[in-house]
């Protein structure tokens, strides 16, 4: 089995045509030094042949000096369409499938910033098997030493905007190929329907954040809109004094909903508890328990955006800071990649929509959050974007504080994989729903 370094799709096709007797070809995706296990070729070819896989990849190890750490990969799902999916440093490709998938490649695809790899593997996934071998079959050097919390915003870094624009174009073409594109027109909503106790509710799920929850609540209470609002804090079984601190705050606008461990609620379940309660206002607006709003007019700006755009959801922007509100890299997270024309499609490719998130309560009550503590916001945002217009605000509306207790500041590879696997599942469900809806619409025309 020939091993080559991937540069462009055109070069890969040439290599395959020069080695027509090779059923499979191993392709290196980066320049890290690879030490293959003795059984790598036999095992990968065996799995690729037996499963009739177009792409086969496997677990690997990362060497850092004298230490070696295991780096497992996750299974490829229908919704594993983000362009940073981790295949590792080398994949085994079915040569015939490469030629078929790339037969009508445009020069723009082959000359894209990644040489066309993203376009190629998306097209090779259509109707084919992609096999992940859960065995460690090679070792590479570790070169990225950043923590998970430092990597997670690479896709919105302005320095990567040229690359991301190309990836969006490639992904949009893929969606068109599989009938997954959403129509440009989004549904607008009648925001005046229904009766609510207040115009807006700030929703704060919390568990054991005694050192930060007061700041969050006080930043919400400091809002100065010209409409009524309240703060609904869902305390999910705190044992560190958080509930006692909340109960000591004497303000009628603060509603504390206690939750017991026996209810088995994640963050999504806590959100459902809040939005389904009798206290929830016309608009439900997010604030995390360790973050703070950036100014007293945050609620006003969000509600104004609802009415100006007649949208079902509004998403703002935020500034990454340390615990003392000093800006830290990457700074402002504003999701400038979003467009009204294609944002709802491109959202399937990237890992999030941004924050703070706000919902028109009748719509979010009809959908509800999955009862999990990661990806729950992404799931409902994808579902809303399938049908409704989303409003965006590109100025920072809150400060996202990084501190030692942040839940996503420094995750293990196993935890990162669990998160990515769940979001790929969410994408799979949403993508299937969009394809089915388009097929139904075509049959009705």
Of the candidates 3, 73, 6, the one whose C-alpha atom is nearest the C-alpha of residue 45 is 3
pLDDT for res 292? 96
pLDDT for res 409? 60
- What tens digit of pLDDT does each residue of 341-354 get? 999 999 999 999 99
- What tens digit of pLDDT does each residue of 141-198 get? 998 866 755 666 665 666 688 899 999 999 999 999 999 999 888 889 999 999 999 9
Integer Cα distance of 53 and 94 in angstroms: 7
- What tens digit of pLDDT does each residue of 42-71 get? 999 999 999 999 999 999 999 999 999 999
pLDDT for res 21? 80
Asked which of 80-89, 195-204, 323-332, 338-347 is least confident by mean pLDDT, the reply is 323-332
Integer Cα distance of 252 and 231 in angstroms: 9
Instruction: Compute the average pLDDT of residues 74-91.
Output: 97
Average pLDDT, the chain: 94
Of the candidates 381, 292, 394, the one whose C-alpha atom is nearest the C-alpha of residue 336 is 394
Q: In a 3-state reduction of DSSP, which class is residue 276?
A: coil
Contacts of 237-241 with CB under 8 Å at 24 or more apart are: 237/207, 237/261, 238/206, 238/207, 238/208, 238/209, 238/210, 239/208, 240/208, 240/209, 240/210, 241/210
Integer Cα distance of 286 and 214 in angstroms: 16
Instruction: Compute the average pLDDT of residues 426-433.
Output: 98
Phi, psi of 60, rounded to the nearest 5 degrees = -145, 175
- What tens digit of pLDDT does each residue of 114-148 get? 999 999 999 999 999 999 999 999 999 998 866 75
Instruction: Compute the average pLDDT of residues 255-267.
Output: 97
Instruction: Compute the average pLDDT of residues 13-40.
Output: 93
pLDDT for res 244? 97
Q: How far is CA 18 from CA 8, 21, 25, 406, in A?
A: 16, 9, 12, 52
pLDDT at 330 over 90: no
pLDDT for res 160? 80
pLDDT at 311 over 80: yes
Integer Cα distance of 374 and 234 in angstroms: 17
pLDDT for res 239? 96
**Cα angle for residues 134, 137, 142 (degrees, 5° grid):** 100
Please, what sign has the CA dihedral across residues 423, 425, 426, 432? Answer: positive
pLDDT confidence band for 108 (50 / 70 / 90): confident
Buried b (16+ CB within 10 A) or exposed e, 17-56: eeeeeeebbbbbbeebebeebeebbebbbebbeeeebbbb
Strand-pair category, 229-236 with 90-94: unpaired
Integer Cα distance of 17 and 29 in angstroms: 20
- Containing 344, the helix (H) or strand (E) segment is helix 343-346
pLDDT for res 405? 58
Directed axis angle between helix 9-17 and helix 117-125, to 10°?
Answer: 60
pLDDT confidence band for 403 (50 / 70 / 90): confident
- Containing 213, the helix (H) or strand (E) segment is helix 213-221
Q: How far, in whole angstroms, is CA 191 from its chain's centroid?
A: 28
Integer Cα distance of 419 and 415 in angstroms: 6
Cis before 356 (ω within 30): yes
Residue with the bigger pLDDT between 365 and 444: it is: 365
Residue 76, token pair as written in the block = 């490829």
Integer Cα distance of 102 and 21 in angstroms: 19
Integer Cα distance of 395 and 67 in angstroms: 44
Integer Cα distance of 226 and 212 in angstroms: 27
pLDDT for res 406? 56
pLDDT for res 150? 64
Any idea what DSSP says for residue 155?
G
pLDDT for res 19? 83
Count of other CB atoms within 10 angstroms of residue 354: 23
Integer Cα distance of 61 and 138 in angstroms: 6
pLDDT for res 404? 64
DSSP per residue, 55-91: EEEEEEEEEETTEEEEE------TT---TT----SEE
Instruction: Compute the average pLDDT of residues 80-89.
Output: 96
Of the candidates 335, 346, 337, the one whose C-alpha atom is nearest the C-alpha of residue 171 is 346
pLDDT for res 390? 97
pLDDT for res 158? 61
């Amino acid at each position: 089995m020939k091993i080559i370094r991937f540069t462009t799709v055109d070069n890969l096709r040439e290599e395959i045509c020069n080695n027509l007797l090779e059923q499979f070809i191993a392709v290196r995706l980066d320049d890290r030094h690879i030490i293959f296990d003795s059984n790598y070729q036999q095992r990968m070819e065996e799995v690729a042949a037996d499963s009739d896989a177009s792409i086969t990849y496997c677990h690997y190890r990362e060497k850092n000096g004298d230490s070696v750490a295991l780096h497992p990969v996750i299974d490829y799902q229908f919704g594993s369409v983000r362009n940073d999916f981790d295949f590792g440093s080398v994949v085994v490709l079915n040569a015939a499938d490469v030629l078929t998938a790339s037969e009508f490649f445009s020069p723009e695809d082959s000359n894209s910033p990644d040489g066309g790899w993203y376009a190629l593997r998306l097209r090779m996934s259509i109707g084919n098997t992609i096999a992940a071998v859960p065995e460690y079959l090679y070792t590479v050097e570790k070169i990225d030493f950043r923590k998970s919390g430092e990597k997670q915003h690479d896709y919105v870094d302005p320095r990567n905007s040229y690359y991301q624009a190309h990836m969006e174009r490639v992904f949009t073409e893929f969606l068109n190929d599989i009938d997954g594109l959403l129509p440009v027109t989004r549904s607008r909503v009648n925001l005046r329907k229904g009766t609510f106790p207040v115009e807006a509710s700030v929703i704060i799920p919390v568990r054991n954040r005694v050192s930060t929850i007061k700041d969050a609540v006080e930043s919400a209470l400091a809002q100065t809109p010209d409409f009524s609002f309240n703060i609904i804090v869902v305390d999910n079984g705190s044992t560190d004094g958080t509930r006692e601190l909340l109960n000591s705050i004497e303000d009628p606008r603060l509603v504390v909903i206690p939750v017991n461990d026996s209810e088995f609620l994640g963050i999504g379940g806590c959100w459902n508890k809040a939005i389904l309660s009798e206290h929830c206002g016309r608009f439900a607006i997010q604030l995390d328990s360790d973050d703070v709003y950036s100014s007293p007019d945050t609620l006003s700006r969000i509600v104004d955006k609802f009415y100006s755009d007649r949208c079902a959801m509004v998403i703002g922007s935020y500034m990454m800071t340390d615990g003392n509100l000093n800006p830290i890299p990457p700074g402002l997270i504003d999701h400038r990649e979003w467009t009204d024309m294609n944002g709802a499609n491109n959202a399937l490719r990237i890992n999030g929509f941004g924050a703070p998130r706000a919902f028109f309560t009748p719509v979010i009550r009809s959908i509800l959050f999955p009862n999990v503590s990661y990806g729950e916001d992404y799931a409902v945002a994808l579902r809303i974007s399938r049908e409704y217009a989303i409003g965006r605000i590109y100025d920072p509306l809150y400060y996202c504080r990084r501190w030692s207790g942040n839940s996503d500041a420094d995750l293990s590879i196993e935890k990162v994989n669990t998160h990515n696997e769940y979001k790929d599942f969410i994408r799979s469900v949403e993508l299937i729903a969009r394809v089915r809806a388009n097929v139904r619409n075509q049959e009705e025309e």
